[in-house]
Every structure is written in C-alpha cells, then in structure tokens.
Amino acid sequence: MENELISIVVPIYNVENYLRMCLDSIQNQTYQNFECLLINDGSPDHSSKICEEFVEKDSRFKYFEKANGGLSSARNLGIECSGGAYITFVDSDDWLEHDALDRLYGALKKENADISIGRYNSYDETRYVYMTYVTDPDDSLEVIEGKAIMDREGVEEVRNGNWTVAVLKLFKRELLQDLPFPIGKIAEDTYWTWKVLLRASRIVYLNRCVYWYRVGLSDTLSNTWSEKRMYDEIGAREEKIAILASSDYDLTNHILIYKNRLQRVIAKLEEQNMQFTEIYR
C-alpha cells in the first residue's frame, strides 16, 4: 500500500508547558509520510522557540505565525497551507498514540472510507491521573454508511463525544473543500464536525485509542463558561437540528443532546448568578 501524504494541523497558543510532548508524539509516528503544520496563533509565550527547534531538525515540520484570531482561524490557515491528500487535527496540549496515523490511514484505505475515527483516553492535569475509556481495544473496524452516519453521530455524542470533535479523525481532503471552521464561534467543533460527516458516504470507526486528551487545564476555553459560549453551544445544535430535520433524519438523539446541553447552560448561568442575562430569559 502506497503511503500518501497526511497533513497534521496543530494550532498553538500558550502551550509551552505541553507543546514538546505533543510534537514528540507526532515526530515519533510509525507512519512517517506526513507534514506537520504548526500554526502559532499569536502566542505570547515561548511556544515559538519549541516550534523552531522541531522545524530546524525535521523538514516535515512547517512553522507559520499569525496574529491571534482564535482556534478556527488557525485551523483554517493550516488547511489552506497543507498539501496532503488527508488531513487530521491535533490540539497542542494533547498527544497522539505512536501508531495513530498508521491505524487511521490503514483503516480508511482498507474500508475505502471518507473518514476514519479513532477513540481517545485522557489525562487529568489537576489530579495527575490517566483515565482509560477504551478498556477492551482490538483491531475490529465498524463501517457506517449513508444516512446511518448522522444517526450514529447522535448516538455517539450521547455516549462520549468521539464523533463530535475535530480531532482523532482522518479526513479525505476533498471533504473539507469550502467548509472552513466558523470564525468568531467558541463551540467550533460543534458547528463544524457534523457538517463534514454529512458530506461523507462511508466512515470507518476503530476500537482503538489513537489520541490522548489533556483535561483540567484551568485556562482553556473548554473550562470557561461565558455568555457567548453558552449562546454558541445552543446555536450550533439548533442549526444542526434544523438542517437534519429538513432532510428527514431521525432527530431523537440530537434533540436529547440539545435538551441536555440546554439544562447544562441553565445550571451554569445559575451557578454564576447570570439569571438576569438575555440568554437565561
């Protein structure tokens, strides 16, 4: 099997304490035909120096600097500058299993799929604890096709969110054509990933951890509940439900997730004494 070029897009902002581990995990991939696009989104720390070290020693790493514009704009620049037949995303405070690209690419080619999706484990930065969710890994592959893809996306979001995030996936490049990440939205993945899944005819799902997600970082957006984030969380799901409804999809799980997120937003508003804000009303 010919190993085609995979583009790995890594947005970077204030991650000097974690970036080296992330980039080491990419450099040490068993699948070696990749380019790694390091997108410095105006980071004020020393992340640039770490990037420059990797670029100097390994020609597969390419470094770009831009004014701070958020995660979406950094990912969009990475896509624009990439040259691979396949694209994957890695957040710069996370890391990959050593054979992540091999497994994602191998599964995608074996099953002639448009997207391959792996699973994740996580590391709690506050408690120094590894949390393993893939408790019984094997080499089995599950193929999902046609309308069943979006039905399954709803099921998986109820379970664990594997399908909702942009990471831990390998995409055929053409699927991302004219589908940029939304600028100005906090819930980027919630707005974007399902639209890519909607374009796919065939997806393969691996029963293997390919990605380690670092949780418990107090300064990350995932731990920050602002009024805008709450608007975006709800708005993204309302948009998805409206579009899926117009195409006669089963909305059962999508509506369940919407209701759960709405309840969570209400709880966060009350927790932060924001009952008099417009979104609460």
Could you tell me if residue 52 is inside a domain?
yes
Q: Specify whether 264 is located in the same domain as 144.
A: no
58-97 pLDDT, tens digit each: 999 999 999 999 999 999 999 999 999 999 999 999 999 9
- Over residues 179-199, the pLDDT tens digits come to 999 999 988 999 999 999 999
Same domain, 138 and 171: yes
Tokens of 188: 């980027």
Q: Rounded mean pLDDT of 203-227?
A: 80
Measuring CA to CA, which residue among 109, 104, 87, 110 is closest to residue 172? 87
Of residues 219 and 211, more confidence is placed in 211
Q: Measured between alpha carbons, how far is 128 from 135 in angstroms, rounded to an integer?
A: 19
Give residue-wise pLDDT tens across range 223-255.
556 778 788 888 999 999 999 999 999 999 999
- Does one domain contain both 88 and 207? yes
Q: Are residues 250 and 181 in the same domain?
A: no
Asked if 180 and 74 sit in the same domain, the reply is: yes
126 and 63, same structural domain?
Answer: yes
221 pLDDT band, cuts 50/70/90, is very low
- Decide: 167 and 211 in contact? Cβ < 8 Å: yes
Could you tell me if 163 and 276 lie in one domain?
A: no
Average pLDDT over residues 171-178: 98
Domain with residue 39: its CATH number is 3.90.550.10
> For the chain, what percent of residues have pLDDT higher than 70?
93
Residue 273 in domain = yes
CA separation for the pair 40, 56 (Å, rounded):
16
Answer yes or no: do 62 and 92 share one domain.
yes
pLDDT digits (tens, 9 = 90+) for 90-148: 999 999 999 999 999 999 999 999 999 999 999 999 999 999 988 889 999 999 999 99
Asked if residue 1 is part of any domain, the answer here is no
Shared domain for 191 and 63, answered yes or no, is yes
pLDDT category of residue 273 using cuts at 50, 70 and 90: low
Q: How far apart are CA 66 and CA 39, in angstroms?
A: 7
120 in the same domain as 62: yes
Give the β-pairing of 6-12 and 34-41: parallel
Domain shared by 155 and 203, yes or no:
yes
Q: What range defines the domain where residue 244 resides?
A: 225-281
Domain-embedded: residue 236: yes
